[in-house]
Structure 1
């Protein structure tokens, strides 16, 4: 995808602080970190949203999660805990339409993550 930000990062057209890469994924630091450690793990294969993940992509998505666990261990916060997040489409908070897994750690993370925007509808 020619206009995809993450495809441009994969191609080396846009710089990123890469933390890990293999033949299926790369991981790099988020430019707007929401925790002391905030990385994005993206597949080399362009998949726009989680809704577009096919059965044959299951191993790739699993590899993204295993990569997150490996990075959490390597950066020293696996035992204390961390959060992984996939956002999907506008209401899910997705802003770049190339699936990506957020890995956040290095501090206690509250729940719900957006407490000030949480509204419960009572009918």
Structure 2
């Protein structure tokens, strides 16, 4: 895939990573909207949040994604933070690979 986040996951593009495990990577947004603005990205390509199945598989994937959001926020020392997900073009999504914005340090 030529998806920019897939390329970051594969190490083909640089990113300022703050977290990585077998299923997720988190890195600083290149256009931050907050003093701390990190993206949490699943390594497996799923275009948009609404593409996850409405079953146990989707529930497990989304649970793991938000568990990772908490891990990243803790690792960054954020006591409070905002979580944002854009879904689809009409929802403001620009990169069609699921990602969660974690913003803090306000």
Q: Do both proteins adopt the same fold according to a TM-score greater than 0.5, normalized to the shorter chain?
A: yes
The two structures, once aligned, show a CA RMSD in angstroms of: 1.1
What pairs with 1:13-52 in structure 2 (closer than 5 Å)?
Answer: 13-52=12-51
Distance 1:12 1:74 in 2: 22
5+ residue gaps, structure 2, are none
Q: Verify: 1:101 aligned to 2:100, yes or no.
A: yes
Task: Tell which deviates more after alignment, 17-26 or 62-71.
Answer: 62-71
Structure 1 segments, 4+ long, off by >6 Å, are none
Q: Conserved in 2, the CA contact under 8 Å of 1:85 and 1:102?
A: yes
Q: In the alignment, which residue of structure 1 is the partner of 2:61?
A: 60
* 1:38 positional shift: 0.5
Q: In the alignment, which residue of structure 1 is the partner of 2:9?
A: 10
Distance 2:78 2:11 in 1: 29
Larger Rg: 1
Deviations 1:26-59 (A, max 9, x none): 1011000010110001111110011211131322
Distance 1:38 1:97 in 2: 19
Q: TM-score, normalised by structure 2?
A: 0.91
What pairs with 1:78-93 in structure 2 (closer than 5 Å)?
Answer: 78=79, 81-93=80-92
5+ residue gaps, structure 1, are 108-123
Distance 1:88 1:68 in 2: 17
Q: TM-score, normalised by structure 1?
A: 0.79
